Chains A and B, each alone.
Chain A
Amino acid sequence: MRTLAADTLILGARSVVRSRRNPATVVSAFIFPLLFFALFFIVMRRVMAAQGFDYAQLLPPTIVAQAMLFAGMSSAYYVAADRLSGLTARLRSMPMHRAAPILGRAVGDLVRSFISLVPISVVGVIVGMRFDNALGVVGFALVALAFGLVASLGMGLIGYVASSPDDAVSIASMPYLPLLMLSTGFAPVKNFPGWLQPFVEWQPVTAVIDLLRAFTGEGDVGSTLPVAAAWLSGFGLLFAALGARAFKKAS
């Protein structure tokens, strides 16, 4: 276990250094979410207000979820790149915990997630988002980062099967849109066709967005936390286990 933690941190630090040397990564992590935020806010605010929704309060959690999924996609890219460069093979020939590479990747991505999270939250507050209390701020940040971690683990798996880094990103972008659009992020459950409603209501991205909103006073933390926590820990463990397995068999 000590080596798992140590190797995860060492590999995590490595991916942070990599991102730092690629200014495009940092800029896109910072700028893209803000761009989405601005566009949705400008286009949709009045429509939502007409329906009685306070968009400044509802939108930031959606943008956060989107940014985390988006950050996760880079994980697919880098896992595939390491595999094809032979680096993964070298790591596989070394004595290390088989889960360390995928966990290291995901832990390193936390920095990127954080870089996205801060501007969204700040701009959110500027346009009118309010947190319940200090605990709400901490909860909001922790859940956002936990979601980023799980998204990165899941997307990283794609890197183990894709035939190239670009291919990995293409595949990773496929679950990204449906998961995000078929959630309560952009519309309430009742606005979806009846057969889709159960999926929209119970899928993990909805659970995360609902919990993030609860931390801003839109909803109840007590009822949303268990669902989100179950999804995040369940998928987190599943993806980490699959990631370890994929590393073991990577070629």
Chain B
Amino acid sequence: MAEVSGPIVQIEEVAHSFGSTVALNGVSFEVEAGEVLGLLGPNGAGKTTMINVLSTLLVPDRGRALVAGHDVVAQASSVRELIALTGQFAALDDVLTGRENLILFGRLRSLSKRHATRRAEELLERFSLVDAADKRVGSYSGGMRRRLDIAASLVVATPVLFLDEPTTGLDPRSRAELWQVVRALRDDGLTIILTTQYLEEADQLSERIVVLNHGRVVAEGSPDELKQLAGGQACVVMPVDLGQLEECASALAPFGTPVVDRDIGSVTVPDAGPGALSSIIAHLEGIDLTDISLRRPTLEEVFLQITDLPDGP
């Protein structure tokens, strides 16, 4: 990645507890301008608490966080000019229509009435809400609410956007629509911090992932780097003759514990270790193969492995 303007969000050793519950336990990471960062973690990991600190809603017990160089506690009002928050639960007025909600937030962001109305129109179109624009938000589906909720964060252009679990509770189709929305925002050059419990989502949408568990950063990197963290690679072997599956399995035994899948016709060694491929091929002499491959473990496998550790590395 080209070095442009340095980190726009800096988080240093942020810690926060609710009574005896430690929600954040010394979290540090940075986000580059224009980057989409996925904050990934299971329920209760501290994602929302982190977002709340960044969006000036919560003063952390320790540590500090900066947005474009402004401290989120000491310079909260400067930070608020730079950010927009779409929280975990849609924060809209159910009694107002979609259009009225957008105009309301536009007006509160100091747009003139005319300007706010025009902006609302643009956003309704962009988020495919024109048909529902004059219906009360209380009658919207989950996906529509979510889209409107994000639209409400975009009434004026702020450089940084926080999306807290934008797709939780949505059906697969609405989720796919929302992914499109986030990709379009990324292409607009917004810096986005997006929290999610879904690996696939972090993998799909973000350039970099910070994995949070029990209030700590337990892993950080690009989706590919995270997959490598799981250590070795899996080796998958497919013989031409399914009758030779057992023979393959015993030939591969020195490299790990082979798993035979008769339906697919494959033998897999889950953790073959680096550089194992050539010696595996040597061990399989005399067996005709349709395929032999090394694959990265899935992010799912990595995630489970990382978050299983109670306190991180």
Contacts and interface: CB of A to CB of B under 8 A. Distances in A.
A87 B89 CA distance: 9
B91 A10 contact: no
A234 B156 CA distance: 38
Contact of A10 (B52, B58, B88, B107): B107
A14 B110 contact: no
A181 B92 CA distance: 39
B138 to A, nearest CB: 10
Contacts of B94: 85
Contacts of B108: 7, 10-11, 91, 94, 96
B56 A92 contact: yes
Interface in B75-133: 77, 80-81, 83-85, 87-96, 100, 104-105, 107-110
Interface in A59-101: 85-87, 89-96
6 contacts: A10-B104, A18-B93, A87-B91, A93-B57, A94-B108, A95-B109
A22 B56 contact: no
A85 B87 CA distance: 10
A93 B85 contact: yes
Nearest to A86: B91
B196 interface: no
Contacts of B91: 85-87, 89-90
B80 A14 contact: no
B87 A90 contact: yes
Contacts of B136: 21
A186 B81 CA distance: 52
B110 A93 contact: no
Interface of B: 52, 55-58, 77, 80-81, 83-85, 87-96, 100, 104-105, 107-110, 136, 152
B55 A17 contact: no
Given A10-B104, A94-B108, A89 B95 contact: no
Interface string A2-22: 010011001100100110011
A91 B85 CA distance: 9
Interface in A20-47: 21-22
Contact of B81 (A87, A95, A251): A95
A92 B109 contact: no
Listed residue (B57, B83, B108, B110) with the most chain A CB atoms within 10 angstroms of its CB? B108
Given A86-B88, A87-B91, 17 more contacts: A6-B107, A7-B108, A10-B108, A14-B96, A17-B95, A17-B96, A85-B91, A86-B91, A89-B85, A89-B87, A90-B105, A93-B56, A94-B80, A94-B109, A95-B80, A96-B108, A251-B57
A64 to B, nearest CB: 28
